[in-house]
Amino acid sequence: LQYSDLNVWAVKPGRMVSDVMATALREAGAFDAVTRELGERRPDYTMAGDLNSIEVYNSGDAWFAHLAISLAFTRFS
């Protein structure tokens, strides 16, 4: 993503989206564990992707975002 001089991000957008996705997967309970880094225990699956664009909509008191994301879910073995 290219950053505008007019917009300052507290956290890089790619990091924010991956944090939200990891939290959602963890809370869904569909997996035994969800981690963001490879550790000693090898995962059954990995998910990787690219955040291609973010469009931010300001609707008065509410803000919305439209994301374009490419994801790949792969069996680790």
pLDDT reported for residue 74: 95
Provide CB contacts within 8 A for 22, sequence distance 6+. 34, 35, 36
Spell out where 1-77 has E strands. Answer: 45-59, 62-75
pLDDT tens per residue across span 23-63: 999 999 988 899 988 888 889 999 999 888 888 888 888 88
For 42, the token pair is 């090898």
Q: How many separate helices (H) and strands (E) can be counted in the chain?
A: 1, 2
pLDDT in the model for residue 56: 83
Give the pLDDT score at 29: 93
Residue 48: which of 59, 57, 37, 40 has the closest Cα? 37
Would you say residue 2 has pLDDT above 60? no
Q: Judge whether residue 1 has pLDDT over 60.
A: no
3-state secondary structure of 56: strand
